[in-house]
Amino acid sequence: MIDQLLAGPAVDANYIEQWFGSVARENALHLLAWTLHQPQAPRVDQLATELFARRRNGHWATTQGNAWSLLALASYLRGVETGSRESKGVIAWEQATSRFSLSNLSPLASATFPIDPKTVRAPVTLTKTGGQVFSEVIVAARPTLVDQPRQEQGYSLSRRYAKVGDDGRLAPAENLRVGDRILITLDIETRRRATYVALEDRLPSVFAPINPAFKSQEVVAGESLGAEWVSDHHELREDRAVFFVDLLNPGRYTLRYLVRVVSAGETIAPAAKIEEMYHPERFGTTETLRVSAQPLE
């Protein structure tokens, strides 16, 4: 019966549409079952490799994904990787080298190499003696281009700034001065049903949030809005506004909130970004904006 259950149909990305479902959790459950059933089977290593590859920034995105993955990997380590934990060797990238030594008391080692255009195409090599080791390579760099272009990978996202007058009417966000109120409007369009979506709008340093919503003078201002996105949770921080929703049906949505100009100067508003938790490759971003503000006279 175990063999029959483990030979069930493969789980595709549509599985995530179920509440609390995730491909990582399903992967972990299969790995846990295989390590208890046939720990030396070739399928065990395949599932372990897949589970490691599904990590994003060191975790599996959800509470259940993390919990079941840790349970499965703990079972894998106890039942499969039973060899020696002692090993030592050298990590090298061209002329740069770093020695490492691993043991039960010190199971982790790291090495940092600066990116050199002359050796960037050379392979990073690892030579060792002793037990099995696992490696991970992280490449980090900063783009020389400050103004990032707009991208649409499944979501359309646009951002608008407007100055709010004392009478509540909107005007173009020009000739800003310290003390002005600014209405930020985020227009979102999604063409497919999505779950666990997050939108982050980073603020330029001259802005500070003051109110999560703007509802007065909408008709007078001539605003054309989509349906209201009923956020399951939102946060207004010093440098950003963040909105979350568990279930988002296809359609057009509008989010708006108020900020105040708190200092003078020229700054850049980073691109706002919308992303789906289970599909990090599906996202949408706005372009970066340059914002300038004058002191209060």
- Percentage helix, strand, coil, to 5, in the chain? 20, 40, 40
Q: DSSP assignment, residue 150?
A: P
What average pLDDT does the chain have? 84
Same domain, 58 and 170: no
In the numeric block, the tokens 């990116």 are attached to 115
The whole domain housing 47 covers 2-79
Residue 137 included in any domain: no
Of 90 and 277, more confident: 90
Residue 8 included in any domain: yes
Same domain, 198 and 70: no
What mean pLDDT is predicted for residues 118-135? 87
Cα R_g (the chain), whole angstroms: 25
Same domain, 62 and 110: no
Same domain, 121 and 185: no
What pLDDT, in 10s, does the model give residues 37-61? 999 898 999 999 999 888 887 888 8
pTM of the model: 0.58
pLDDT at 224: 46
Question: Does residue 16 register a pLDDT over 60?
Answer: no
- List helix spans (H) across the chain: 2-6, 23-37, 42-53, 63-79, 218-221
Residue 140 included in any domain: no
Question: Does residue 191 register a pLDDT over 70?
Answer: yes
pLDDT at 19: 61
What pLDDT, in 10s, does the model give residues 201-220? 999 999 998 865 555 544 34
Residues 6 or more apart whose CB falls under 8 angstroms from that of 226 comprise: 187, 188, 189, 251, 252, 253, 254
What mean pLDDT is predicted for residues 251-263? 90
Give the Cα separation of 30 and 9 in Å (integer): 12
Residue 145 included in any domain: no
Same domain, 174 and 49: no
Same domain, 159 and 287: yes
